[in-house]
Structure 1
Amino acid sequence: MLRNMGLYRTRMPRWGVPAASSLIALIAAVLAIGNTLAQTDQLILKVAKEYDVAIAGEQRDWFGYGLSVGDINGDGQADLLVGAPESDLDSRFRSGAAFGFLGPIDSTLSESSAADIKLKGFDVTAGIGSAVLIQDINGDNVADFLISSEEMGVDDTRHESGLIYVVLGPIQPTGASATELNDQAADFRILGPHRNYNTGKGLATGDVNNDGALDIAIGSPGGYGSRKGGVEIVLGPLDGSDIDLRDGSDVKLLGSIGTIGSTRNGDAAGGSIAIGDINNDGVDDIAVNSRSADVGDIENAGETHIIFGPLDPSALGELATQDEEGGIPIKSIADVTLQGEQERDNASASTLAIGDLDGDGINDLIVGSMQSDAAGSRAAGKVFVIKGPILSGIYNLDDAADVAIEGENPIDSLGSGIGVGDLNGDGVADLALAANFADPQEREDAGITYIMFGNIFEREPTPEESNLPQILIGVVVVIVVIAAAGGGIWYLRRTRRGAMPPM
């Protein structure tokens, strides 16, 4: 906006009525500039001033690194499941944990210790809670849990391959004591294919091939050569036995090698996945993030790709030869691409969710960008909401978003987790957002999960804390001093690019 302004110097007239009029005009111009800069079509909200519930983790828990909303106990009320992969629950170092909170949820909930369900990793550094999901995986109308550890090794040859535990419901409250999650407690597991793949960082379910059976998509952002990352899709119905991705899957979607700098800079695709009908055609679509994707000549700006369903494995198989890993390049079949705009911002790509936030029957897209700067705070994080339906095209994320929700403090990383559902039982979908590096009550990297009740699109913009009055006073003082000295003042004037300044 200011690129079309010129900064020029003019002589200050002798003090008097005309000069005073000029001063008043200048003050009005400063105010007008401030108002113009504040105007935007995007609804901007500050999470610290807009949340209705804030649940805090314990020191270094990373509470909110994983997040899901669903009906855990079958009472028709949405519940909340939060992953904390660095948790030392029950003094077990970095074993990780998952905390379940039964709804309805209200503002009296403020601590992770109040969880109705607590699951802990079976050993030190197990790190469970990288991703969590509430879903009826076996079709018995009872909710199940999917809880991953992206850093767990399957065996001695698969260090940090990643692992997902599937626990079939009904899930019972654990009370104050935590239940250990291990191979025996899980009903079956999904195993990462190779070392350092970080399988399970992204996790989603839905009917991607439109056959009526639930499918599961598993992200491995560290894998597939040069950290291209990718997503393996296992088509349902699932039979309840272990799934070893080393043996393959039904569909493999892969990221790309970076175009800037080292060729080791892959897209890291699959760190988050969402499945749902985003173009309102009645068929599930799949959204996949590529948090390290280059956008043009901007390194690591990040991208989110959406592929409209249904996915036909037989038709897609013809494209699998395009990549040496035997997968399908995501970019080659993406219908929608959302791009970040800042170098190493990793925007448009941290976390994803699909859900109907305003009750119009059409799903909306929520995109977390946990490394984005917000209101001058480095890596405070942002969450962008795009009202559906979303149609084919390539878009700048910030331009496309109808709502931007900003984190509170530097390095909070708002957007580490996202969930959608009616958590307070009023019939309207709510938005759960996590900032896993937030420091509540000076607990370093404890993490906070925020809940914002009601239709997000109907909120009023968070008022800006403007310092314009102080700036204006400073301008007046400077003008008076210069006038007394018989000098000149500087002023702004809008010009065409290339135009000569006035003499």
Structure 2
Amino acid sequence: MPPIPRRAAPWLILLVTLGCKGSSSDFPVNPGDDDSDAPVETLTLSLSTPAAGATLPADAPFGLVGVVSPEEALSEALSTATLTANGAPISFSLSLDPDVYGGFLGEGGGLEAGAQTLVLTVAALDQTATATLSVTAVGNQPPTSPIPGITPSAPVSGEALFAGLVTPAEDPEGQAVTTTFTWRRDDVPMPEHDGLTTLPEGITRKGEVWTVSAIASDGALTSEPGEDSVLIEGAGPSISVSIDPSEPRPTDTLTCAWTVTEPDGEAITEERARWAVNGVELSDATIPLSGVLVRGDEVECVVTATSSSRTNTAVASVTVVNTTPVVTGVSLTGLPATESATLGCAVEATDDDGDTLTSAHTFYVNGASAGSAATLSGDSFNKGDTIWCEARVYDGAEWSVSAASDTTLAENSAPTPPTLSLSPNPGFIGGRFTCTITAPAADADPADALTTTVDWLLDGVVVSSGGALTYTAAGASAGSELACEVTVSDGDTDASSSAAVTLSDRLSGALTRADADLTLVGTESRAAFGQSLETPGDLDGDGLNELLVTGAGYSSSAGGVFLFYGADLVSDADDTDASAFWYGEAAGDTLGDLRGATGGVDLNGDGLSELLLGAPTATGDGLSELGAVYVLSSQDRASWGQGGSVADDAALIVRGGVAKDRAGSAFASVDLDGDGLGELFVSAPYADPTSASNGGAVAVYWLGGVLPAGELGPGDADLLLNASGGTDHLGLGGLGSLGDLDGDGLVELLIGAPDMDGVSCADCGVALVYLGGGLSAGSAVTAASLAVGQVEGLDGDDNVGISGVGLGDLDGDGLGEWALGARFGDATATDAGGVYVFFGGPPSGDLDLNDADVSLGGAASGDRLGWELSANDLDGDGLAELLTGAYTVEVGSLSDAGAAWIVLGSTLAGLSGAYDIADVAQLSVSGEATRAYVGRNAVALGDLNGDGLADWGLGAQGVTEGGLVRAGAVALFWGP
């Protein structure tokens, strides 16, 4: 059976009466006794309405709601139903309730007043069921009396009255009631207002009593009336007030107009009008109000009038509205309007309210809007365009009407000249100067094409005009000002900028050792201090280069090498003031002879240069003049001594192979393969390879970033380069880097054989050149077989290959220039010596000195120019200067006094052919004593003193100092 749906009220089962068909003997004793007669469900009846104890109306209908179960008995039950009250049948009707399973509903009626017992009986399924409940029936009673109320409780004449119920009526039987209102004036009925809850304005008068009566009805009976009364009081004066204008502006004059009447006819005893602004009383309203108002003020005219009844007040109010600002003028600023200018739009405006004004702008170019920013940049228009601006202002409430400026035409923008720098600075007479444009010229007019003119001025006079940005300051004098002036023109306007330097003769003229900035002297007779000098670079990381000075005559020719740190070179000093110095292992070792000492490319990968010190006649293993090179690691510099044996501080010693080899006559550390580590080259120019007596050999060691402990010899070399013939003396002089000659990023190598036979000359000397990367580890080979090219002398004993140096790229073709020394060359006179300069990269094939692009000869026979060459940029023009000397030059009557020269790179770049070096050199230094031997070396040393300029020096190994014969000296010149 499906579930019975729920109703809103719970079911009350009042009574169930069960009747059975037959007696108990009619049912089988056991289930199996009679299968043909199944059990019948019990009939039940329940009522939910009315509820037990309910009060019902007498002689009036009441509802019936209930449920019969089982549901299939419902129809039969309803057809047999009876309803009695106190045992007497009463009228009723029942029907099915479609919303409730087994439910029914209906209506009963005709109850007599008093207590009643209701009994509902149904029969179905041969059973009966009864529901019984007790109720009370009562007759109709009138509603309770309503209590009305009148508002307002103290009305004035003419005021509307409103009737309402303070307490509504109630019906004892719960029947709905209606309430009716009637009115009386002074106890006189006012039928025209009956039924109204509102009496309109204008009806009442002072002194009247108005009463409202309320009666409730349930449709049959009415209640007793309820009443409420009010006394009408005098309304007092009636006031009408207005302010003109109704939307005033701060500059307006306000007037107040008002009228006063007395509805009850009473006399007006007092009348008063006042102005108030923002709630604060201000002045008499009979006087117009002006000059005190601002936008947003709330202005009131307050009128008060009094009669015998009361005092009344009326208020008129207005709000002060904004005064629109006015633009009185607009103009363009930043004129003239060029494409490099920034234009503004200036606005003049007034506001009667005194408000702070903000402005908005619009620029127009040729009639089209160009933006609404406060400014207009020159890149928004072009020369010849028509420009104006419009502007309006805002006072926080309203925008003004826009106004426009006058129009203007965009004019030509003057070009901006370039920014220049002139180098070198300081500059020197004869130097080549470069005018560098560090920031290019510009023109804001995109259509303009700029033309450029470069003028060079010497003391204000144009000495060169055109487009060249380089100039050689020949013929100038000390103190002159050299200026580079660059002028650009856009066809309408020119603009110029310039840079200038004051020329110095520091790198010009004839000097002596006395002109040096600092002098170092030997303290031992015949020490030959200054025989060689070189810089190993910056060993201690302070940014200053260090200085190495040698003297092969120290300690009975044991020889000595002296290291001066750049930071210590502040005043004249002697050899014992050196930061570290060493002597040869034994007398006669000649430590520091020939090429003496140098630094070079890092050998062991610590980022620092090692010191390479040579002793060409050192004895080893009992073999005389075996020769040695001592490698000192800069990592050990804190423990380097002063005056001890060089072997004590050496990290590595490389010795010759047999007696008389004279290993260490020349040596170098060169990164030939570009791996950042130096290869170690050690020459033994008197070695006898392949039976070539005194032919010489060069041993090459690839150390791979590690300095091996102990000693090495030729047998340990990774490559052995041997001379071609006897007495070639391979490696006696020039051995080292020429720089990158072919522009491939790798340096080239020079090895000289100053007594080697050439193709067409005997004993004239040969310089062999090797390409970067052109050597690799292998067995012994003939040195000439691996060279990319060679240069030989012209005559016997020219001594070609005794020295060589790379000059960098002097002519700007991307290839390096280089030079060779031939101290017995005959360029200008017999054995005058010479320096031979080659342009355009490394040699190819067999060349001789006639193939040089420039030859520089000594001044006189026997001068011996070119024993040593050095190069560096001394004047800051980016070109290397050439430093060399002729150590046997006769100065006056002083034989072998010697001389040194500096030839500017800018000069060399412009030479072609043969010259006497004295004629092209920018500077010379002459010896001041017989056998001073000035010019045996003249060396560019880099920056020793921290002034940012390259310094240079020269040795005078033969001078007598402090009475010490041939003690030797070094002259240092701060750069340039």
TM-score range (shorter-chain normalised) is 0.5 to 0.7
RMSD: 4.2
Q: Normalised by the size of structure 1, how large is the TM-score?
A: 0.65
CA–CA distance in structure 1, aligned partners of residues 815 and 675 of structure 2:
10
Matched, 1:422 2:939: no
Matched, 1:121 2:584: yes
**1:304–1:338 Cα contact (<8 Å) kept:** yes
**1:436–1:446 Cα contact (<8 Å) kept:** yes
CA–CA distance in structure 1, aligned partners of residues 692 and 902 of structure 2:
31
Question: How far is the alpha carbon of 1:136 from its aligned partner?
Answer: 3.4
SS at match of 2:599: strand
- For residues 366-411 of structure 1, give each alpha carbon's deviation from its aligned partner in whole angstroms, at most 9, with x where no partner exists: 0022111224422111111011153465443222312111111111
Question: How far is the alpha carbon of 1:451 from its aligned partner?
Answer: 0.8
- Counterpart of 1:140, as a letter, is D
Matched, 1:266 2:797: yes
- CA separation of 1:52 and 1:105: change in aligned 2, threshold 3 A: farther
- Counterpart of 1:371, as a letter, is T
User: 1:145 matched to which residue of 2?
Assistant: 611
- For residues 331-355 of structure 1, give each alpha carbon's deviation from its aligned partner in whole angstroms, at most 9, with x where no partner exists: 48755443224222112x1221111
- Counterpart of 1:116, as a letter, is S
- CA separation of 1:185 and 1:103: change in aligned 2, threshold 3 A: closer
Q: Which runs of 5+ in 2 are unaligned?
A: 1-506, 723-748, 765-794
Identity %: 23
- CA separation of 1:412 and 1:442: change in aligned 2, threshold 3 A: same
- Counterpart of 2:917, as a letter, is L
- Counterpart of 1:83, as a letter, is T
CA–CA distance in structure 1, aligned partners of residues 684 and 862 of structure 2:
20
| Match among 56, 68, 72 for residue 539 of structure 2 | 72
RCO (CA 8 Å, sep 6+): is it higher in 1 or 2?
A: 1
Of the structure 1 ranges 407-416 and 215-224, higher mean CA displacement relative to structure 2 is found in 215-224
User: 1:291 matched to which residue of 2?
Assistant: 823
| Match among 295, 302, 305 for residue 833 of structure 2 | 302
Question: How far is the alpha carbon of 1:446 from its aligned partner?
Answer: 0.5
CA–CA distance in structure 2, aligned partners of residues 165 and 415 of structure 1:
26
- Counterpart of 1:53, as a letter, is L
Question: How far is the alpha carbon of 1:415 from its aligned partner?
Answer: 2.0
User: 1:20 matched to which residue of 2?
Assistant: none
- Counterpart of 2:888, as a letter, is Q
CA–CA distance in structure 1, aligned partners of residues 857 and 697 of structure 2:
19
User: 1:86 matched to which residue of 2?
Assistant: 553
**1:64–1:83 Cα contact (<8 Å) kept:** yes
CA–CA distance in structure 2, aligned partners of residues 85 and 356 of structure 1:
30
Question: How far is the alpha carbon of 1:310 from its aligned partner?
Answer: 5.5
SS at match of 1:178: strand
Question: How far is the alpha carbon of 1:137 from its aligned partner?
Answer: 3.0
**How is 1:432-451 mapped onto 2 (pairs within 5 angstroms)?**
432-451=953-972
User: 2:528 matched to which residue of 1?
Assistant: 62
User: 2:720 matched to which residue of 1?
Assistant: 247
SS at match of 2:509: strand
**How is 1:385-424 mapped onto 2 (pairs within 5 angstroms)?**
385-389=902-906, 390-391=908-909, 393-419=913-939, 420-424=941-945
**How is 1:422-501 mapped onto 2 (pairs within 5 angstroms)?**
422-455=943-976
Question: How far is the alpha carbon of 1:235 from its aligned partner?
Answer: 9.4
- Counterpart of 1:124, as a letter, is A
| Match among 372, 377, 381 for residue 889 of structure 2 | 372
SS at match of 1:398: helix
CA–CA distance in structure 2, aligned partners of residues 308 and 191 of structure 1:
37
**1:219–1:230 Cα contact (<8 Å) kept:** yes
SS at match of 1:454: coil
- Counterpart of 1:99, as a letter, is F
User: 2:643 matched to which residue of 1?
Assistant: 178
Question: How far is the alpha carbon of 1:154 from its aligned partner?
Answer: 6.5
**How is 1:124-135 mapped onto 2 (pairs within 5 angstroms)?**
124-130=587-593, 131-135=596-600
**2:884–2:937 Cα contact (<8 Å) kept:** no
- CA separation of 1:54 and 1:146: change in aligned 2, threshold 3 A: same
User: 1:43 matched to which residue of 2?
Assistant: 508
- CA separation of 1:441 and 1:110: change in aligned 2, threshold 3 A: same
**2:825–2:832 Cα contact (<8 Å) kept:** yes
CA–CA distance in structure 1, aligned partners of residues 935 and 531 of structure 2:
9
Of the structure 1 ranges 96-105 and 145-154, higher mean CA displacement relative to structure 2 is found in 145-154
Higher strand proportion (structure 1 or 2): 2
- CA separation of 1:156 and 1:106: change in aligned 2, threshold 3 A: closer
How many residues get paired? 394
Q: Normalised by the size of structure 2, how large is the TM-score?
A: 0.36
- For residues 212-239 of structure 1, give each alpha carbon's deviation from its aligned partner in whole angstroms, at most 9, with x where no partner exists: 7656676777789999999969597866
- Counterpart of 2:950, as a letter, is A
- CA separation of 1:66 and 1:330: change in aligned 2, threshold 3 A: farther
User: 1:339 matched to which residue of 2?
Assistant: 857
CA–CA distance in structure 2, aligned partners of residues 236 and 387 of structure 1:
36
Question: How far is the alpha carbon of 1:115 from its aligned partner?
Answer: 0.7
- CA separation of 1:103 and 1:253: change in aligned 2, threshold 3 A: closer
**2:614–2:666 Cα contact (<8 Å) kept:** no
Of the structure 1 ranges 191-200 and 287-296, higher mean CA displacement relative to structure 2 is found in 191-200
| Match among 900, 903, 914 for residue 383 of structure 1 | 900
Question: How far is the alpha carbon of 1:83 from its aligned partner?
Answer: 0.8
- Counterpart of 1:165, as a letter, is Y
- For residues 136-178 of structure 1, give each alpha carbon's deviation from its aligned partner in whole angstroms, at most 9, with x where no partner exists: 3325321211111233366777x64643322222252567732
CA–CA distance in structure 1, aligned partners of residues 672 and 881 of structure 2:
18
Question: How far is the alpha carbon of 1:271 from its aligned partner?
Answer: 4.0
CA–CA distance in structure 2, aligned partners of residues 356 and 247 of structure 1:
35
**2:586–2:618 Cα contact (<8 Å) kept:** no
**2:600–2:678 Cα contact (<8 Å) kept:** no
SS at match of 1:374: coil
**2:657–2:713 Cα contact (<8 Å) kept:** no
SS at match of 2:918: helix
CA–CA distance in structure 1, aligned partners of residues 853 and 895 of structure 2:
32
**2:511–2:923 Cα contact (<8 Å) kept:** no
Matched, 1:351 2:868: yes
